[in-house]
Amino acid sequence: MKRKIYLAGLLVIFLGAGFTTLRNKDLELVKNLDIYYTLFRELNMFYVDETDPEKLVTTSIDAMLSSLDPYTTYIPESNLDEFQFQTTGEYGGIGSLIRKSGDYVMIADPYEGFPAAEAGLRAGDIILKVDGFSTKNQPIESVSDRLKGKPGTEIRISIDRYGQDKPLEFTLIRKTISIPNVPYYGMIDSQTGYIRIANFTSGAGKEVEDALKTLKRNQDMKSLVLDLRSNPGGLLIEAVRICNFFVGKGELIVSTRGKVTQWDSDYITQKEPLDTEIPLVVLINRGSASASEIVAGALQDLDRAVIVGQRTFGKGLVQTTRPLKYNAQLKVTTAKYYIPSGRCIQALDYSNRNEDGSVGVVPDSLISEYETRKGRLVYDGGGIRPDLEVIPEDLSEITLQLYTQNLIFDYATMYRATHEKIASPDVFSITDQEYDAFKDFVEKQDFEFQTASEKIFNSLVQTARREKYYELASDEFTRLEQKLAHNNLKDLGTFSDEIRQILNEEIINRYYYQSGRILAQIQDDSQLDKAKEILLEPGAVEEILSGSGDVEIAAGIIE
């Protein structure tokens, strides 16, 4: 009897401690909210200058959320359209990317099949007016808002086009713009199908399904490449649907686990697959994140595909949107996700920041080994490691600068104005004479840049002068400076192959849009070449997935 009373007493003590803890947390919450309210009131009443209450609150909210992770964000009502576009890939407008160009805004990339392209607007066109409203010195957001609108409404645009003496006038009808998740698919050789997946917005699974069914009508197709490179992710459920095309019904693809346990979920394939036998390679790189990592990781864990490329970004967190008052939303991280082997591939540890507030990667000492279905070793804590690592060559500094300073873009604009049509994307290439014309164009521009070597050298000179060593070695510094100095004309020759490749892609995009650019890109693609090599070698895929070959899978070493 005494024992029962004693246990009951312990239970009361424990429950009381629990209630005390909850009560203390509630008190702390009320206390801090009261402090925030009084501080905000005093600030608005007594600060020396006029304040903007809405801006102050938004700034404080953003600062609070930034202490958690970059994916937990506040979405005011004014930004809901942009948020909806990120999840659905749809908006009402003309269907074109725009960017700033001097005092105006420029058409940067019209989408094939949408009002801008159908009306004849081109990349490089300067937008002078929208419905009679001058865009000069207007923020790009303001111009974007005027271009968007309810589908079916009319819009008048005045543009300045290279080679034209007078402005051109266009009248367009806005449409619902749905950016494709699959911007290109096709056969890349007589036996190999290829599907580029650019996003995981709503409908991605259906687009991949349609592409795969179309490719499978080709009786000669014996293998497939899924290209997830630079895919930032999107909807988790679309990733599960895509995996279902290649693995059987009832397979666990991903699990989510968070603080609110009733929200924990296991995502299992619900339908019969389209093809569980076709040899499959998935391409990834550092820009592959979130849902694209679920697809690559699940197919790797289930030994269904060979993963080729570079280690992915490493986003293993799941976000949920929660409604707030006044039509605002909170996008909040609610869980981590785990792929079939049981690993979470989150790379950055936001819950344990460094003393200076920075975020560190998960240390090697905390990275754990897991096994695929057939027993191959895979790892958590830092993205999906490819089965075969293929790192493309970095572009030279001059190529990067020609691109970022828009000289390649501007030359393509000029080229489009003087060439009505070009050959198909898989065969087009500018001639030697056209490349010489490009070099002449560059020489006439105010084109300056520093190589990384020159930047480091200048830093070394400054340090040497500060430490008073420069005079002791001034001759050596002078000779080294002369050797490191780049020459635009020489560099345009030395790096002509890669410059011509980027220039070809930009020109092709003016005639064949995004699908043409992709087709041009994959004509010279070391990662895709490795994928084709594996798929064309009899038994290579099976050997890699069984872990019995000469390829060291876990370390990602090529043969």
pLDDT range class, residue 2, cuts 50, 70, 90: very low
CB atoms within 10 A of CB 97: 14
Does position 303 have pLDDT exceeding 90, yes or no? yes
- 63: pLDDT confidence band, cut at 50, 70 and 90? very high
Closest among 296, 288, 283, 197 to 533, alpha carbons compared? 283
Region 184-254+265-319+339-392: CATH code: 3.90.226.10
Contact between 157 and 127 (Cβ < 8 Å): yes
CATH fold of 90-178 reads Pdz3 Domain (2.30.42)
DSSP bridge pairs for 104: 101
pLDDT for res 74: 94
| Catalytic choice (125, 301, 303, 380) | 301
Q: Where along the chain do its domains lie?
A: 90-178, 184-254+265-319+339-392, 397-533
What's CA 17's distance to the chain center, in Å? 47
Average pLDDT over residues 254-277: 95
Q: Which of 175, 315, 331, 532 is catalytic?
A: 315
- Could you tell me if 149 and 552 are in contact, meaning their C-beta atoms sit under 8 angstroms apart? no
Interval 369-390: pLDDT, tens: 999 999 999 999 889 999 999 9
- Say if residue 553's pLDDT is above 90: no
Output the pTM of the full model.
Answer: 0.88
Choose the catalytic residue: 223, 290, 341, 515: 290
Residue with tokens 């805004």: 105
Q: What distance in Å separates the CA atoms of residue 269 and residue 248, rounded to the nearest whole number?
A: 7
Residue 301 known to be catalytic: yes
Q: What is the pLDDT of residues 515-544, one digit of tens each?
A: 999 999 999 999 999 999 999 999 999 999
Tell me what the mean pLDDT of segment 234-242 comes to: 97
Active site residue 290: yes
Question: Tell me, what's the pLDDT at 556?
Answer: 37
Average pLDDT, the chain: 90
473 or 439: whose pLDDT is higher?
439
Half-sphere exposure of 270 (CA within 13 A, CB side): 7
Residue 60: active-site member: no
Secondary structure letter of residue 114 according to DSSP:
S
200 neighbors 235 (Cβ within 8 angstroms): yes
Please enumerate in sequence order all residues whose Cβ is within 8 A of that of 411, keeping only pairs 6 or more positions apart, or say none. 438, 441, 503, 506
Question: What does the pLDDT read at residue 314?
Answer: 95
Q: Is the pLDDT of residue 555 over 70?
A: no
